[in-house]
Amino acid sequence: MTPRQRMLAAYRGEIPDTVPVAPEFWYYVPCRLLGVSMVEFERDIPLWQALQQTFRHYRTDGWGIVPIGVPGPDLKSKGAFRELGRGRYEASHEVTTPHGTLRCRSQYDEQEPSWPVERYIKDFERDWPAYAYMSLEREPDAIEWAPVREALEAVGEEYLLEPMLPGPFFDFIALQREGGLEQAVFDLTEQEPFFEALHERYLDYAVRVARAAGARSGADSFFVGCSWSCVSLIGPRLWRRWDRPVIRAMADELHKHGKLLHVHFHGKCMDVIDDLRECGADCICPFERAPGGDVTDLAEVRRRLADRVTVNGNVHTVETLIRGTPADVTREVEEIFEHWGADKRRLILGTGDQVGRETPDANIRAMIDAGRKWGKT
């Protein structure tokens, strides 16, 4: 099988020729391999191209994303990019809508991924109408799919490239809210009628994007990310109320078109493992070990998922890959396969979030070699 075929077989619950080994290479390792600054990496190099070179370098399986550009309303916008000194830069953006003007700023560093320093939504009453208009008055049926198809064709069988769908609802309301995670939790508590109406609007938008993607993108699987939408940060109740319905609705729409859904779900998961089984996702990652997650026994995870969801992950990115030795990595991989059992369907050997920049190359290769040894079917 090719890497792409191997990943898709695992997503579908079929038996691949060997269990896919898919370290999550995101920013740090590809940036290091390409020999560029993080500023160049983020602003000038498509992520799917950087991942292609990285998977090719390590001769392993994997997945990555390509963005979907959903046409929005005709708005006035302007931006600027300036150097701050000492390897720091700042990008600013201003958008004028019929409901007001929004401004945001992000800072870039030559060594680290960028981060926001000013978000669009500062005053709840003033800014939400403008942000909702800018974000949701879009036309999924008018998406130009040529860039996505060109990326899919360029990647071919080298790894599984997935168009990125709208994220969970909490991330939508929090990522551009001044005050971030904490303020968005307060907002949900204090403005529930507003968010109930917005949730219906967002759900409709997400389903329409999924429908267009499933029908016209040419991809076989799609990706839903996660920033703050996880039970480690917002708890099971808020996640079930606001985010699970969005995932379920997009999964149902994709399945109508014979497509697959991959969901990223950081942090602890055992309190909602039964929800994850029923959310419609075909593959979920990364099922992290402590302290970031709470997975201690993959056999229990597999039993409770009941052969309905593929597990991707469980190699510890810090304690094992960064701080451990190749022998430690090999031992952890063996443990994963022992816990999983003889039936090797529904398993992808992955990492608990992205592989860190400090990870010794020998440890990455030890993970791949051990996965190939133990993953034969």
Task: State yes or no: pLDDT of 258 exceeds 90.
Answer: yes
> Is residue 190 pLDDT above 90, yes or no?
yes
**What confidence tens digit (pLDDT) does each residue in 71-98 have?**
999 999 999 999 999 999 999 999 999 9
Residues in the chain: 377
The confidence score (pLDDT) of residue 206 equals: 98
**Band (281; pLDDT cuts 50, 70, 90):** very high
pLDDT band of 27, cuts 50, 70, 90: very high
Question: Given a cut of 90, is residue 353 above it in pLDDT?
Answer: no
Mean pLDDT, rounded, of the chain = 97
The confidence band for 137, taking pLDDT boundaries of 50, 70 and 90, is very high
| Residue 106 pLDDT exceeds 90 | yes
Q: What is the pLDDT of residue 154?
A: 98
Q: What is the longest distance spanned by two Cα atoms in the chain?
A: 60
Say what the pLDDT of residue 294 is.
96
Q: In terms of Cα–Cα distance, which of 364, 284, 250 is closest to 10? A: 284
On the question of pLDDT at 148 being above 90, the answer is: yes
Closest CA to 284 of 265, 307, 305: 265
Contacts of 44 (CB under 8 A, 6+ apart): 36
Q: Is pLDDT above 90 for 248? A: yes
Average pLDDT score over residue span 176-192:
97
Burial pattern 2-25, b for ≥16 Cβ within 10 A else e, equals: ebbbbbbbbbbeeebebbbbbbbb
d(CA 56, CA 30): 11
Tens of pLDDT, residue by residue over 149-182, are 999 999 999 999 999 999 999 999 999 999 999 9
Q: Collect all residues with Cβ–Cβ distance below 8 Å to 232 and sequence separation of at least 6.
A: 266, 267, 268, 292, 293
* Tens digit of each residue's pLDDT (9 = 90 or more) over 285-312: 999 999 999 999 999 999 999 999 999 9
Where residue 104 falls among pLDDT bands split at 50, 70, 90? very high
Q: Using the predicted structure, report yes or no on whether residue 5 has a pLDDT greater than 90.
A: yes
Angstrom CA distances, 133 to 74, 101, 136, 165, 287, stand at 11, 11, 6, 19, 36
